[in-house]
Structure 1
Amino acid sequence: MTRLAPADDINTRTSILATGARVMRTEGEALLLFAASLDERFVQAVETMYAVKGRIIMSGMGKSGHIAAKIAATLASTGTPAQFVHPAEASHGDLGMITRDDVVVMLSNSGETSELSDIIAHTRRFAIPLIGVASRPDSTLLKAADIALVLPAAPEACAIGMAPTTSTTMTLALGDALAVAIMEKRGFQPSDFKTYHPGGKLGAQLLSVSALMHTGDALPLIAEDTPMGEALLVMTAKSFGVVGIVDAHGKLSGIITDGDLRRNMDGLMSHTAAQVMHKGPLSVRPDALAAEALGVMNDKKITCLFVVDDDRAPVGLIHIHDCLRAGVA
């Protein structure tokens, strides 16, 4: 087990906590200032990025480059094609990645980063829209940009006021604000999000019932007038511990579970399915999230749900084990 170094004394601990709180307050205050300063240029940036025919090209050097790469990933994951182009690599051939159909978003706290010059010149030469983000309105970057997004004057959070802290936090938040505004303008839905996040925990949470449900011959279904002897055979053969009952119109009218069998042991084999079934069983739609179905099963302490269409005709069955195997929790 890793041994953690203890604080030397109470004064050291208090000092560390005070530093952490000061940094967060400094950056939080800067974000509030930035939010209040957003204007028509932010709207223009969103509209320009939304209308892009090609890709959003994010670029920046150093810390700004790391932020730019993260923003590119956020845009791509929310339905806006985007990629990061390193400004130094652009000068050695990667300018070919930037086309006339693209929009370039360039980040630089000072706006004077020399490595950005070749990309700036490239956008001007081929009339590629350039959105600049910097803290100095009169900087080379913002003067060249079609849309200039100015970071408000705010102190860096470090003790010497030089390490990129507040400035990178504001730039990152700006990227999130742009991505979310474009996302909402596009009407991005959870089903769209699933397309770009098929793997991992997030992908599992966005799985639909239709992706996990059993269909066709696997479904344990019988008619209302089916003798219980036959019902038991179907229930055993399908191995779900339940059997669904459909009426003359093919709609799900009831369900028989192990509990229903125990409650009707007296004369069970003389009954029909309709006489034993639990009427109006819980069900779920195929387009519902599997997480929603799992929540119902956990809440009602049941192990499966029939999946029905708009007319309550059974089209599938989802079992709690299907959800757990897929990582839905």
Structure 2
Amino acid sequence: MPYAVSIDDPGVADAHDMLSPAKNVLRSHIVALEQLLDGLDDTLLKLAIRIAACRGRVILTGIGKSGIAARKIAASLAARDVAATFMHGADALHGDLGMVRADDIVIAITISGASSELLYVIRHARSIGAETVAITAAPDEAVSASCDHVIAIPALDTACDFGIAPFSSTIASIAVGDALTMLVAREIAFSRNQFARLHPAGRIGGRFLSVCELMLQDDALPMVGPDAPVEQVIAEASRTGIGACAVVDANRMLLGIVTDGDIRRHFLDGSESPASGIMTADPVTVGDDTDQHDAFAIMRGHRIAVLPVMAADGRTLVGMLNIQDMLQAGYPEK
């Protein structure tokens, strides 16, 4: 039995009353984020600039829930091409301090500001010349006093168990980390191509992968010359299974495209025209630097199933994109 009582049972308090603890937590989160927004100053921007210029690594550290927040922030920075890593505050005191170097920036996440482990980490980092930062709800405590820079976050955990567990303060830690990440990304001019390169297996990164990653090319590219008979066009289109064939000249310059529909119309008309006589001239195309997301939007907008991909000169055919391959790759996004 999943629950001891049901909110539908007679005599049970109103469901709204039963949900009040949950609502209080969410309200506390909202207040914490609003306070964080109102108190935002150039301290975060200055830190972002220093991280962007850092020649070493950005090491995030913390204990407990703050450690989880630190790990998340490190992962977000790393996903933006920053040499960021997570070092657990407890593991640091058992040898992991050896990873810290003088050209690193060590960022400690601590709600209480009094963690003895993090205090030792910060003091060690400063002793070897590393720059230190505290993200904390207690800017007057020992860890903050030992750091070069302090970013204060709201301390609003009264809505949680006994008013001491880190709920809203953890949310605030992650939020300020996300804000910092976006400032760093802007400082280093983080591009869509970089994002795609660092997320090759995810749907997020797939939005920005070049069409070159998915298009038919080389021997798989269906194409014929302008004088090719319709039988050859059919054979070439069938060979690749995309239901279309490019028409190119001797230098692989795109002249047009023949689709299944063009072939059907050819037979209905009873003509004996070669490929050049049944093709659609000047078809919609994209460059080989177009990302897959934009290419898919173009195909949907023009209601086409095949999209020729052109070289930088805008005339040479280098590939063909098939909407079925796009759908199999996860487009459109659910």
On whether the aligned pair clears a TM of 0.5, the verdict is yes
Amino acid at match of 2:246: G
Moved more, 241-250 or 111-120: 241-250
Q: Which residue of 1 aligns with 2:82?
A: 80
Q: Which residue of 2 aligns with 1:13?
A: 15
Equivalenced residue count is 328
Moved more, 30-39 or 214-223: 214-223
Moved more, 133-142 or 290-299: 290-299
Q: Which residue of 1 aligns with 2:44?
A: 42
TM-score for both structures, normalised by structure 2: 0.88
Q: Which residue of 2 aligns with 1:161?
A: 163
SS of the residue aligned with 1:70?
A: helix
1:23 partnered with 2:25: yes
Deviations 1:158-180 (A, max 9, x none): 26322211111111101111111
What value does the CA root-mean-square deviation take over the aligned residues?
A: 2.5
The share of aligned pairs that are identical, in percent, is 34
Q: Which residue of 2 aligns with 1:131?
A: 133
Q: Structure 2: how far apart are the matches of 1:173 and 1:236? A: 53
Amino acid at match of 2:7: A
1:319 partnered with 2:322: yes
1:1-329 matches, cutoff 5 A: 6-8=6-8, 11-158=13-160, 160-246=162-248, 250-266=252-268, 268=270, 270-309=272-311, 310-329=313-332
Deviations 1:51-76 (A, max 9, x none): 11111111111111111111111111
Shift of 1:269: 5.3
Q: Structure 1: how far apart are the matches of 2:247 and 2:183? A: 48
Contact preservation (8 Å) 1:207, 1:289: yes
Q: Structure 2: how far apart are the matches of 1:255 and 1:161? A: 68
Q: Structure 1: how far apart are the matches of 2:217 and 2:226? A: 20
Shift of 1:123: 1.5
Shift of 1:40: 2.8
Q: Structure 2: how far apart are the matches of 1:119 and 1:232? A: 70
Contact preservation (8 Å) 2:135, 2:152: yes
Q: Structure 2: how far apart are the matches of 1:244 and 1:231? A: 9
SS of the residue aligned with 2:261?
A: helix
Q: Structure 1: how far apart are the matches of 2:119 and 2:233? A: 77
TM-score for both structures, normalised by structure 1: 0.90
SS of the residue aligned with 2:133?
A: strand
Report the CA distance shift for 1:6/1:207 in structure 2 as closer, same or farther (over 3 A). Answer: farther
Contact preservation (8 Å) 2:211, 2:288: yes
Moved more, 247-256 or 86-95: 247-256
Shift of 1:21: 2.8
Shift of 1:266: 4.8
Amino acid at match of 2:293: A
Deviations 1:124-176 (A, max 9, x none): 21121001122223211111111111123545332632221111111110111
Q: Structure 2: how far apart are the matches of 1:6 and 1:172? A: 35
Shift of 1:232: 3.4
Contact preservation (8 Å) 1:44, 1:147: no
Unaligned ranges ≥5, structure 1: none
Moved more, 204-213 or 183-192: 204-213
SS of the residue aligned with 1:163?
A: coil
Contact preservation (8 Å) 1:228, 1:268: no
SS of the residue aligned with 1:306?
A: strand
Contact preservation (8 Å) 2:60, 2:106: yes
Report the CA distance shift for 1:235/1:166 in structure 2 as closer, same or farther (over 3 A). Answer: closer
Unaligned ranges ≥5, structure 2: none
SS of the residue aligned with 1:316?
A: strand
Deviations 1:262-311 (A, max 9, x none): 21225655212222112222222222222333344445444322111242
Q: Structure 1: how far apart are the matches of 2:188 and 2:30? A: 29
Report the CA distance shift for 1:12/1:160 in structure 2 as closer, same or farther (over 3 A). Answer: farther
Q: Structure 1: how far apart are the matches of 2:69 and 2:87? A: 12
Q: Structure 1: how far apart are the matches of 2:93 and 2:315? A: 62
Moved more, 120-129 or 147-156: 147-156
Q: Structure 1: how far apart are the matches of 2:204 and 2:42? A: 34
Q: Structure 1: how far apart are the matches of 2:183 and 2:121? A: 26
Q: Structure 2: how far apart are the matches of 1:263 and 1:73? A: 55
Report the CA distance shift for 1:88/1:275 in structure 2 as closer, same or farther (over 3 A). Answer: same
Shift of 1:255: 1.3
Contact preservation (8 Å) 2:230, 2:263: no
